[in-house]
Amino acid sequence: MTAIKIKATHPAAQGKPRPLFLEVLCRSLIILCVILSVVLSSVAVCDGHWLLSDQRMFGLWYLCVLEDTGAAPNCSRHFGEGLDPGLSVCRSLVSLAVVSAIFGLELLVISQVSEGRASSQRWHFGSWLVLLAACLSAGGVLIFLFLFWKHATPLGFTLTFCCQFTATFLFFLNGMAARHIQNMAALLPSSGDLGKL
């Protein structure tokens, strides 16, 4: 009887059990990495100059011809060679990837200030939106590479293309981590349970 009374009056047994520090740390790191991915992808999409080859700059928005005299580059929105429809799809995919990642990030953040089932659902949907952003971003990058594979060289890709490439991997890794963190958290004991051991 005494053991039962002690267990019933234990502070950890009263109120809602708090999450483990490791879980909070993991969720915070996932959110920070998604923020970094959104920034990298936004910069890459807004700049859009992804490939330099033979005095020409191939990008999402413009094709620029660089002059040897140091004059301003001559840029045009028409790429020719039947590339315009493919680039329209590429632009749409990478732009939608940024939008999807922003909404996913918002849900991940809001889930941390809510409780219960609503918090779990927001985190779940947010992780799926980040994974959707990874798929859209990867599709845009692959289409760009397919369209300009004749001009592509390892040293021809610009820093902004590397930003988009990195963001694609970060979207995927963080989306997968966000999906599995809830399953892992369900298997781990809460801090209240640890206090009872």
Indicate the pTM of the whole model.
Answer: 0.78
| Mean pLDDT value across residues 50-70 | 80
The answer, yes or no, to whether residue 193 has pLDDT greater than 70, is no
The answer, yes or no, to whether residue 83 has pLDDT greater than 60, is yes
Q: Around 76, how many Cα atoms within 13 Å sit in the side-chain half-sphere? A: 9
| Mean pLDDT value across residues 96-123 | 90
The answer, yes or no, to whether residue 96 has pLDDT greater than 90, is yes
Residue with more model confidence, 55 or 103: 103
19: confidence class by pLDDT, cuts 50, 70, 90: low
Domains belonging to the chain, first-starting first, are 20-49+82-188 (1.20.140)
Mean pLDDT, all residues of the chain: 81
pLDDT > 90 fraction of the chain, expressed in percent and rounded: 42
pLDDT at 14: 47
| Mean pLDDT value across residues 183-190 | 59
| Mean pLDDT value across residues 29-45 | 95
For the stretch 117-121, contacts whose Cβ atoms lie closer than 8 Å and that sit 24 or more positions apart, written own/partner, are 120/182
Helix (H, G, I), strand (E, B) or coil at 174: helix
Pairing of strands 74-76, 49-53: unpaired
The first and second tokens of residue 128, run together, are 């799926």
70: confidence class by pLDDT, cuts 50, 70, 90: low
Residue with more model confidence, 70 or 105: 105
Rounded Cα–Cα distance for residues 71 and 14 (Å): 73
pLDDT at 9: 46
Per-residue pLDDT tens over the stretch 147-168: 888 888 878 888 999 999 999 9
Per-residue pLDDT tens over the stretch 113-143: 877 788 888 999 999 999 999 999 999 999 9
Length reported for the chain: 197
